């Protein structure tokens, strides 16, 4: 079956130029192919669109109605293609970006207004959630992922390195002592993060490859890093979290780093991820470039950071 849209284009061009031969020259087709397109249209529609004579072409009533519809449809197709190209070239429309809550509030929300100001044709929707969202199902354009990147159908761009630290409040360390080895953690109250395998509610991983698993227990656990941080500040136990969450409290002395005999597990870093597309929209490319530039060099949460 010949392409319907091409058939419409051929039909409109034949009518506008008044002959098959002129339409063929204009479209770069043979006159035979132009005739095939018109014949296929008429056979599929079951009506005669054109009365052909040796001197001229005349539209039938059905042909006039089909011409009006074809011109409207072709104009809408052209407009759709123009808008699609514009979306690829210029950031516009709505950018939906999803970010983990604690990282989003500290590092992303403060700088996104600058990005939005650069692109007046763009609206930014920021979603903050610690759960792993489905970008395609939930129609997010972009997400920030932290930790180890699992194999997936998403494209990932690294924004910054990331490391974890074990910390506690001075009051907790004074009352319970400072652990020296990872084995000492068994005798301490440890604040577990319920959404991470590396720093979970029942075991913490150590060593660069994360192969050392240490059972832990504690009186408080949560699915949000800030909730654990507040518990640590109140002296409820040790916290094992990324430095972006702990940096301000470490600088101010409200938390103290604990050095153990094994290094923290190594995380891959902070990543921008987006669905794999041959041509990602300009809004996605622009946002990723902005974030890469914002976190270039030493991450802001690592600057002047005391401790291990």
CATH number at residue 155: 3.40.190.10
257: β partners:
167
Residue 46 sits in which domain range?
4-86
Q: How far is CA 66 from CA 7, 19, 291, in A?
A: 12, 17, 51
CB-count exposure of residue 230 (10 Å: 0-12, 13-18, 19+): middle
Q: Are residues 53 and 138 in the same domain?
A: no
Q: What is the pLDDT of residues 151-198, one digit of tens each?
A: 577 889 999 999 999 999 999 999 999 999 999 999 999 999 988 878
In a domain, 307, yes or no: no
Can you tell me which residue has the tokens 């990282």? Answer: 103
Structural domain includes residue 277: yes
Residue 20 placed within a domain: yes
Give CA–CA dist 194/212, Å, rounded: 19
Identify whether 214 is part of a domain. Answer: yes
In DSSP terms, 84 is beta-bridged to: none
Helix (H) or strand (E) holding 154: strand 154-160
Percent of the chain exceeding pLDDT 70 equals 94
Place 84 in a pLDDT band, splitting at 50, 70 and 90. Answer: low
Q: Which residues have C-beta within 8 Å of that of residue 136, sequence separation ≥ 6?
A: 275
pLDDT of residue 88: 62
Same domain, 128 and 72: no
End of a domain among 70, 86, 102?
Answer: 86
* 169 and 249 housed in the same domain: yes
Cα torsion 245, 163, 202, 195 to 10°: value is 60
How many whole angstroms separate alpha carbon 170 and alpha carbon 178? 10
> Is 34 within the bounds of a domain?
yes
pLDDT at 255: 97
Q: Which residues contact 106 (CB under 8 A, 6 or more apart)?
A: 244, 245, 301
Residues 245 and 113 in one domain: no
Radius of gyration of the chain (CA): 31
Ramachandran quadrant class, 8 (left: phi over 0; alpha: psi -120 to 50; beta: rest):
alpha
Q: Which of 57, 86, 115 is the last residue of a domain?
A: 86
Cβ atoms within 10 Å, residue 193: 22
**Do 153 and 287 belong together in one domain?**
yes
Question: pTM for this structure?
Answer: 0.70
- On whether both 245 and 275 belong to a single domain, the answer is no
Residues 158 and 272 in one domain: yes
Residue 303: per-residue pLDDT: 87
Say whether both 157 and 275 belong to one domain. yes
**What's the CATH number where 10 sits?**
1.10.10.10
Instruction: Say if residue 170 is in the same domain as residue 141.
Output: no
Least confident of 35-49, 138-152, 246-260: 138-152
Look-up: residue for tokens 């577990």?
192
Q: Which residue has the higher pLDDT, 276 or 48?
A: 48
State percent of the chain over pLDDT 90: 51
Q: Is residue 308 part of a domain?
A: no
C-alpha to C-alpha distance for 162 and 146, rounded to whole angstroms? 8
**169 and 32, same structural domain?**
no
Q: Please indicate whether residue 233 or residue 22 has the higher confidence score (pLDDT).
A: 233
Instruction: Assess whether 112 and 231 both reside in one domain.
Output: no
The answer to whether residue 263 sits within a structural domain is: no
Burial of residue 266 (number of CB atoms within 10 Å: 0-12, 13-18, 19+): middle
Query: Chain centroid to CA 10: how far?
Result: 41
Answer whether residue 232 is part of any domain: yes
Residue 252 has pLDDT above 90, yes or no: yes
Domains: count for the chain: 3
Structure tokens at 307: 């401790």
From 21, 19, 27, select the one nearest 10 (Cα to Cα): 27
Residue 210 and residue 239 in one domain: yes
Mean local confidence (pLDDT), 65-71:
89
Residue 226 near residue 102, CB atoms below 8 Å: yes
Strand pairing partners for 269? 147
Last residue of a domain, one of 21, 54, 86: 86
The pLDDT tens digits for 42-63 are 888 898 988 887 678 888 888 8
Cα(196)–Cα(150) distance, integer angstroms:
13
The closest alpha carbon to 214, from 230, 194, 199, 233, belongs to: 199
């Amino acid at each position: 079956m010949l392409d319907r849209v091409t058939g419409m284009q051929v039909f409109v061009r034949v009518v506008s130029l008044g002959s098959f031969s002129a339409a063929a020259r204009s479209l770069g087709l043979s006159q035979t192919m132009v005739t095939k397109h018109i014949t296929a249209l008429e056979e599929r529609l079951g009506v005669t669109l054109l009365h052909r004579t040796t001197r001229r072409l005349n539209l039938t009533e059905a042909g006039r109605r089909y011409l009006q519809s074809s011109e409207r449809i072709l104009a809408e197709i052209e407009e759709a293609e123009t808008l699609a190209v514009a979306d690829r070239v210029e950031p516009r429309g709505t950018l939906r970006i999803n970010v983990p809550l604690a990282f989003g509030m500290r590092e992303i929300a403060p700088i996104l207004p600058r990005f939005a100001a650069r692109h007046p044709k763009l609206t930014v929707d920021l979603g903050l959630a610690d759960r792993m969202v489905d970008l395609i199902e939930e129609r997010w354009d972009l997400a920030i992922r932290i930790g180890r990147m699992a194999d997936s159908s998403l494209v990932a761009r690294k924004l910054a390195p990331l490391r974890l630290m074990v910390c506690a409040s001075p009051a907790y360390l004074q009352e319970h002592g400072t652990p020296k080895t990872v084995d000492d953690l068994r005798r301490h109250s440890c604040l577990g993060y319920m959404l991470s395998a590396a720093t979970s509610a029942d075991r913490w991983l150590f060593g660069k490859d994360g192969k050392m698993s240490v059972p832990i227990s504690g009186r408080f656990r949560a699915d949000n890093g800030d909730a654990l941080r507040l518990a640590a500040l109140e002296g409820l136990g040790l916290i094992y979290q990324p430095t972006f969450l702990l940096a301000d409290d470490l600088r101010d002395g409200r938390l103290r780093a604990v050095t153990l005999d094994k290094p923290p597990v190594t995380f891959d870093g902070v990543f921008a991820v987006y669905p794999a597309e041959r041509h990602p929209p300009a809004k996605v490319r622009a946002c990723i470039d902005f974030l890469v530039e914002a976190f270039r060099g030493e991450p802001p949460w690592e600057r002047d950071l005391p401790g291990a």
